[in-house]
Structure 1
Amino acid sequence: MNEMTWVILTGRQSDLDQVATPHKIITNRDYLAHPALFRGQRPKVINLSSNYAYQSRGYYASLLASSRGHKVIPTVETMIDLSEHKLYEHALPELEQALNKCRKELGGSFPAKVTFFFGIGPSRDWDRFAKLLFDWFRAPALEVSIRDNRQWASIHKIGFYSLTRMSSEEKPRFLESLAAYTNREWRDTKTRTPARYAFATLVNPNEELPPSEISSLRHWAKIAEKMGVEVEPITKKDLAKLANYDALFIRETTSISNHTYRFARRAQQEGMPVIDDPLSMIRCTNKVYLNELMSYNKVPVPPTVMIAGPSDLEVAAQTLGFPLVLKIPDSSFSRGVKKASNFEELKTLATLWLEDSDLLIAQKFIPTDYDWRIGVLGGQPLFAVHYLMAKKHWQIVNHERSGKPDQGGIRTFTLKDAPTHVVETAVSAARCIGDGLYGVDLKETADGVFVIEVNDNPNLDHGWEDSGEKDEVWVRLTQWFLDRLERQGR
């Protein structure tokens, strides 16, 4: 890994005194005009332009930084996010909650305007809010306008705050925050082994059914190390540290509504290769979307009926017969997937589930002793296994037993030994979703092969899914990230 270089861009030479910081200061005009300036280095760029408006010089500096493989704050995405209130209002509920939790420390009231530099507020009392604000919007300097009625403080506006607007009291605080920010990351990087790249792996040590066990990730780390990559575990507390890494592999169960999605979005904004990427999460999470997508692309799926209300239950019963399978559109690990043996059961279950979801899916029940699970990475098959049904149950995971969920076993194959038509169908299904890592579940029957679902965040454990292809699975996973980093010239 190259020696860390920090580069600070300003609008004009006079905006920041060269002696104010040990880091290199150049104007955004010079940075734009000399693409070869930092060739062979991987500098971190702090863009302090006084204007970040769309297509301004400040905007282009961040845009071209990312194309040159330089890490930059703020990114173009952050500039766009903060350009209009409606583009950042989704962040306000969480931010306002954190803001109001600071009330007591701040003596009961809030100023009308507050400035934050690199996730640091005017005093320690703002810490909780300042960190979260920086998590959402990584920018060197932000100004937040607050409306406070003594019961509840709401955020009226979040905007960039330029060097040229800073008062003589604010400038020293800004420079201190800049020093703290660059030192913190500097130290983190200095303690690393001299690997070419550092990959973050998002884990939750307390998860009951994680997609990869910690021991499997350690196994991957050993293989990645030989390829010049250091793998480090991070947890949901580490969002602000994510930019220190080159790539992200999410290994806790993903959901659009929790921090895993925010990590994926942040990684994408930082220009990092990520598994799973936000779009794959959105696509795979929703079974309604998957079913339409597969049908449109002529990938075989079981006969299916959408249920939007009570009138569709008759259609489902007549079209599919009983037993049939009813699914909530966004469920994982066999949860929210139940079998209905007759019309009464279907009606009871559908009525209950339609309270929480506007749409349900009913599918023809296809009994098999196992599901094929084909792992697909970057549009190519990665592994092939049978997931056996849980004992005396029609699914791979039985959540109805008391105590821990009961999982069926696994039977492993090399890709050469897996039936070609099964593997090809799985690859076609995964390619409809994207270019990442997917686990495709298929049923093999006398009537042909059917795709049951495509999972983002598929299970990948040493001694299980990698049994057929051995370490080649982990080598190819590492290479997937490396190919994308090399392509970006990182």
Structure 2
Amino acid sequence: MAQFLIVTDDIDDWRPYLPSDNLVTVHDYLEMGAFADQNAMQVINLCRRYDYLSTGYYCSLMAEARGHRVIPKVMTINDLSQDRFFSLPQAGLDKLPASVTDIAMKVYFGYCDNPALDKIARKIFERFTVPVLQVNLLNISGRWQVEVIEPVAFQDLCESEQDLFAKYLEVFSQKVWRAPKPFKRYRYEIAMLVDNNEKMPPSDKAALKLFTKAASRIGMDLVQIGKHDLSRLSEFDGLFIRSTTNISNFTYRFAKAAEQLGLVVMDDPESIMKCTNKVFLTELLYKHKVPVPKSIIFKASDKNWADKVIDAIGLPIVLKVPDGAFSLGVVKVKDRAMLIEQAEQIFKHSALILAQAFMPTDYDWRIGVLNRQPIYACRYFMSRGHWQIYQHHQSGRVSSGDFDCIDLKMVPHNIVDAAVKASNLIGAGLYGVDLKEIDGKAFVIEVNDNPSIDHGVEDLFLGDLVYDRVMTEFLRRIQLRGL
């Protein structure tokens, strides 16, 4: 569990605030070897200046050398010291009255005193994680742009601003003020990222509770966080993503930020990138001679693309949107006219389309792989009267077929071998490999970086051991990181 440490130029700087045992001067912190034996430490650098080679700069530099998690990081300090373009998200700003042409605000640990600007303050803090920022924005031709983003010394805050600073410091790092817990303390804490509004999450609530219990059994605390908690990542030793991943949504931002902070991340941003795009994945598997359905990747500018696709694969054909999930963005076409119609719809959103031969089976295999080893095996049967496992109805309802979970020893060797070979091309994380078995041959359909683990489904054969395996792997990686 991370211990918080506040570093400032002088103890007297802290006089307006509540006394804290977590306070040290930058002089004491910069002593050779000071605090070096405390790996799990979060340092809040409140030095007056962060200029290059100043004591504030060296505070962050020394913290990173010691393996401490520090805000601001040295890279953030360097970014703020340079004139660089910052793409300002317009969400929230576009709702402001047209009469508002400029904004000047202070951002305290990702918060400000204007509720209308909370979202933009949080986005800026995610990009520049600095305790206090002065942010000036200008409305130029209907689009908001950044005029100034610069650190503010908390020592220079007026009385009302000091109140806001103390308020949001408490929100950001409650452990500075919180009394010791009367119950069991944990060696490590892992953030489990979930989206409570997600209709088809990778783990149901029962499974999330079982992951939490598994972590507790080995001395770790698994804490659920949401998509607005990016600034809390530095509190933790690891990040476990249990929300459907995509390059374009918040899960990838969390994975990137956690990786940069030195957390153990599952799944890591590279795995997300590789797995969520079916075009990339198919090309990767094909190159390494992993058996896949007969496939072709085509684009709208290809001459006579419809005829080439039919000649290469035959009919019917399955068209896939590169970043679809849970059978979304997957359509079956029976003839040339339908191929052209559906492909033109997909081309509105993607430059490339993956086409694959239609390979009907009663079920698909799913092999769970963790750290290059198979851990569970399931068979997912097709939804009744449908050719896919998941059937998305026009009403918004989603139906699915039956399933069973069996002993890995009972799974054909070629299925397991193909699954492990495919997942090893991605990395050593947690993956779910989908395969079809036709005439005794295995064909990899896709590798999922964030596989479903639901109570009563993927854990049906092994029970709690599935959750224990995942949490034990987190513990192993965290301990290796500390060596």
Taking structure 2 as the reference length, the TM-score comes to: 0.86
Matches within 5 A, 1:20-419: 22=20, 23-27=22-26, 31=29, 34-35=32-33, 37-40=35-38, 42-48=40-46, 61-62=59-60, 65-66=63-64, 68-79=66-77, 82=80, 84=82, 86=84, 88-89=86-87, 92-94=88-90, 97-99=91-93, 108=100, 110=102, 114-121=105-112, 127-148=118-139, 153-161=144-152, 166=156, 172=162, 176=166, 180=170, 184-187=174-177, 190-191=180-181, 193-309=184-300, 311-400=304-393, 402=395, 404-419=397-412
The alpha-carbon deviation at position 257 of structure 1 amounts to 2.0
The alpha-carbon deviation at position 230 of structure 1 amounts to 2.0
Q: Is the 8 A contact 1:67 1:488 kept in 2?
A: no
Q: Is the 8 A contact 1:51 1:58 kept in 2?
A: yes
The alpha-carbon deviation at position 359 of structure 1 amounts to 0.6
The alpha-carbon deviation at position 155 of structure 1 amounts to 1.5
Q: Is the 8 A contact 2:154 2:162 kept in 1?
A: no
The alpha-carbon deviation at position 101 of structure 1 amounts to 5.1
The alpha-carbon deviation at position 287 of structure 1 amounts to 0.8
Matched, 1:6 2:2: no
Deviations 1:303-362 (A, max 9, x none): 211110262221110011111211111100011111111212211111221122111011
Name the SS of the counterpart of 1:329 in structure 2. coil
Q: What is the Cα-based RMSD across aligned positions, in Å?
A: 3.3
Once residues 269 and 448 of structure 1 are traced to their aligned partners in structure 2, the CA distance between those partners, rounded to angstroms, is 41
Matches within 5 A, 1:380-459: 380-400=373-393, 402=395, 404-446=397-439, 448-459=441-452
Instruction: In structure 2, give the amino acid aligned to 1:337.
Output: V
Instruction: In structure 1, give the amino acid aligned to 2:234.
Output: A
More displaced stretch, 366-375 vs 33-42: 33-42
Distance change >3 Å, CA 76–CA 413, structure 1 → 2: farther
Name the SS of the counterpart of 1:416 in structure 2. helix
More displaced stretch, 400-409 vs 17-26: 17-26
Name the SS of the counterpart of 2:259 in structure 1. helix
Distance change >3 Å, CA 153–CA 207, structure 1 → 2: closer
Name the SS of the counterpart of 2:404 in structure 1. strand
Distance change >3 Å, CA 451–CA 102, structure 1 → 2: same
Deviations 1:245-267 (A, max 9, x none): 33222222222222222222232
Q: Is the 8 A contact 2:276 2:448 kept in 1?
A: yes
Aligned length: 477
Once residues 57 and 306 of structure 2 are traced to their aligned partners in structure 1, the CA distance between those partners, rounded to angstroms, is 53
Once residues 83 and 389 of structure 2 are traced to their aligned partners in structure 1, the CA distance between those partners, rounded to angstroms, is 46
Deviations 1:103-143 (A, max 9, x none): 69xx94645x5443333447777555434432443212323
Name the SS of the counterpart of 1:435 in structure 2. coil
Distance change >3 Å, CA 123–CA 308, structure 1 → 2: closer
The alpha-carbon deviation at position 169 of structure 1 amounts to 7.2
Q: Is the 8 A contact 2:170 2:177 kept in 1?
A: no
Instruction: In structure 2, give the amino acid aligned to 1:74.
Output: P
Once residues 324 and 105 of structure 2 are traced to their aligned partners in structure 1, the CA distance between those partners, rounded to angstroms, is 42
Runs of at least 5 residues in structure 2 that lack an aligned partner in the other structure: none
Within the candidate set 464, 472, 476, 1:479 is matched to 472
Instruction: In structure 1, give the amino acid aligned to 2:220.
Output: V
Distance change >3 Å, CA 207–CA 43, structure 1 → 2: closer
Once residues 118 and 431 of structure 1 are traced to their aligned partners in structure 2, the CA distance between those partners, rounded to angstroms, is 39
Taking structure 1 as the reference length, the TM-score comes to: 0.85
Distance change >3 Å, CA 131–CA 357, structure 1 → 2: closer
Distance change >3 Å, CA 436–CA 16, structure 1 → 2: farther
Distance change >3 Å, CA 276–CA 187, structure 1 → 2: farther
Distance change >3 Å, CA 183–CA 479, structure 1 → 2: closer
Distance change >3 Å, CA 489–CA 59, structure 1 → 2: farther
Instruction: In structure 1, give the amino acid aligned to 2:135.
Output: V
Q: Is the 8 A contact 1:109 1:150 kept in 2?
A: no
Distance change >3 Å, CA 19–CA 488, structure 1 → 2: farther
The alpha-carbon deviation at position 189 of structure 1 amounts to 8.0
More displaced stretch, 143-152 vs 418-427: 143-152
Instruction: In structure 2, give the amino acid aligned to 1:375.
Output: G
Q: Is the 8 A contact 1:102 1:126 kept in 2?
A: no
Once residues 189 and 118 of structure 2 are traced to their aligned partners in structure 1, the CA distance between those partners, rounded to angstroms, is 28
Name the SS of the counterpart of 2:410 in structure 1. coil
Once residues 237 and 168 of structure 1 are traced to their aligned partners in structure 2, the CA distance between those partners, rounded to angstroms, is 29
Runs of at least 5 residues in structure 1 that lack an aligned partner in the other structure: none
Once residues 190 and 378 of structure 1 are traced to their aligned partners in structure 2, the CA distance between those partners, rounded to angstroms, is 36
Q: Is the 8 A contact 2:110 2:121 kept in 1?
A: yes
Once residues 277 and 173 of structure 2 are traced to their aligned partners in structure 1, the CA distance between those partners, rounded to angstroms, is 43
Aligned to 1:463: 456
Once residues 467 and 477 of structure 2 are traced to their aligned partners in structure 1, the CA distance between those partners, rounded to angstroms, is 16
